Amino acid sequence: MSMKFRCERDVLSEALGTAGRGVAARAGAAMIGGVRLELAGDQLTATGSDGDLTISVTVTVSGSGDGSTVMRSKLMGDVVRSLRPGAVDVLIEGEDARIVANPSEFSIRVAAVDEFPEIPEPSGDVVTLDAAMFRAAIDQVSKAASTDDARPILTGVLMAAESDGLRLVSTDSYRLAMCDIAGLAVLGEGQKVLVPSRALKELARVVGDEKEITLSLGEHNACFSVGRATVTTRLIEGDFPNYSRLIPDTHENRLTIDREKLLDSLRRVRLLAQESTPIRIAMSADGLEVAAVAQEVGEARESLEAHYEGDDLMVAFNPEYLIDGIEVSPGSQVVLETIGELKPALLKSSEDPNFLYLLMPVRVS
């Protein structure tokens, strides 16, 4: 087999980088750590896959000799990125790939295509999503998903049909994020699927300025296409926790505060919140005090203007989880609703009723 193409370094490097993120770092088998290059006319498709997540990106090249090959993902990416700007010529003959860009020349062994993971073909009805809206929803919920593979259910984002649209929910059991997208009929009535958060994060990275995402939902897989990229993922099987019973119906206390001012304050005070030190939030009619007290390190305190209705209350949170929720909250003001120092607190946007972030407080002595 002889296959060759010419491509600008930056275009090829970006395609390899995007596809390479589908290759699992934990992959033991050399082949799973490979990226497949497929040439058809002047279209080159780079695909990386770990068997569960697959990312493909297609770019236009000057090609001849259709075919496909598999190369070590990291090595190929590093080599192309190291070249001088300009045109890169790639020639694959037999078991070798020659990569030439004046004054450099590399020869790299390629692998057998038949060892590459089989990629499921998209199945099911195709629906179109507003790219900016869906990406915003992913950003709002993806951080609350667990990264611990020991509990795979919690590493997913629940996509569920709601009466007037689509709901996205994630939880790692310490916090929960929920976002509703009104008017988006992606699933049938009562239908829900569990999509790995890793796949949705990768989708958010490739959206760019694209206007639309097309989704094809199969029984075991979901396939998202946006621009020249496609993200295909195996769905997670199992039952997502009954999240609605975790969300309190009423809250006795309500704090409303400028989002950016609170974020700035928390980031400063957090400097003293070493390791597992919580951030303490004291709320009263006078406003808000944010504090971190770290034994043998020191302490930090800041007072902020805020509107508060309720009983004087001090509640403590994991600083990372609290900041994550405020960062993704839409609008210029956030609302913190609390019941007591150890009951779940709700973080909301004063301007967008479709977002909700539930956070478990931390016990402090």
pLDDT average, residue stretch 337-357: 95
Model confidence at 161, pLDDT cuts 50, 70, 90, reads: confident
Domains and CATH numbers, the chain: 2-115 (3.10.150.10), 126-245 (3.10.150.10), 247-359 (3.10.150.10)
Asked if 167 contacts 180 with a C-beta cutoff of 8 angstroms, the reply is: yes
Asked if 323 contacts 262 with a C-beta cutoff of 8 angstroms, the reply is: no
Q: Do the strands 67-72 and 34-40 form a parallel or antiparallel pair, or are they unpaired?
A: antiparallel
Other beta carbons within 10 angstroms of residue 198's beta carbon come to: 22
Positive/negative CA dihedral, 89, 90, 94, 96: positive
Model confidence at 25, pLDDT cuts 50, 70, 90, reads: low
Which pLDDT tens digit goes with each residue over 304-344? 999 999 999 999 999 999 999 999 999 999 999 999 999 99
Which pLDDT tens digit goes with each residue over 251-296? 899 999 999 999 999 999 999 987 789 999 999 999 999 999 998 8
Model confidence at 121, pLDDT cuts 50, 70, 90, reads: confident
Asked if 91 contacts 191 with a C-beta cutoff of 8 angstroms, the reply is: no
Helices (H), the chain: 9-20, 73-82, 131-142, 197-207, 259-269, 319-328
3-state DSSP call for residue 131? Answer: helix
pLDDT at residue 10 is higher than 90: yes
Q: What is the pLDDT of residue 31?
A: 47
Q: What is the pLDDT of residue 70?
A: 94
Residues 164, 301: Cα–Cα separation, whole Å: 44
List the beta bridge partners of residue 169. 158, 178
Write the DSSP string, 45-112: EEEEE-SSEEEEEEEE-EEES-EEEEEEHHHHHHHHHHSPSSEEEEEEETTEEEEEETTEEEEEE-B-
Other beta carbons within 10 angstroms of residue 12's beta carbon come to: 27
Q: What is the pLDDT of residue 119?
A: 81
Nearest-5° angle of CA 32, CA 35, CA 39?
A: 140
- What DSSP state is assigned to residue 118? P
pLDDT average, residue stretch 80-92: 97
Residues 350, 333: Cα–Cα separation, whole Å: 6
Residues shown for the chain: 365
pLDDT at residue 27 is higher than 50: no
Which pLDDT tens digit goes with each residue over 185-203? 777 777 899 999 999 999 9
Q: What is the pLDDT of residue 29?
A: 45
Asked if 330 contacts 140 with a C-beta cutoff of 8 angstroms, the reply is: yes
- Tell if the pTM clears 0.85, that is, is over it: yes
3-state DSSP call for residue 33? Answer: coil
Q: What is the pLDDT of residue 276?
A: 82
3-state DSSP call for residue 86? Answer: coil
Q: Do the strands 229-234 and 53-60 form a parallel or antiparallel pair, or are they unpaired?
A: antiparallel
Q: What is the pLDDT of residue 187?
A: 73
Asked if 271 contacts 259 with a C-beta cutoff of 8 angstroms, the reply is: no
Model confidence at 28, pLDDT cuts 50, 70, 90, reads: very low
Average pLDDT taken over every residue of the chain = 92
Tokens 């080599």 -> residue: 79
Phi and psi at 345, nearest 5°, equal -105, 150
What is the helix (H) or strand (E) element at residue 222, kind and residue range?
Answer: strand 221-226
The CA–CA distances, whole Å, from 343 to 195, 252, 317 equal 29, 11, 11
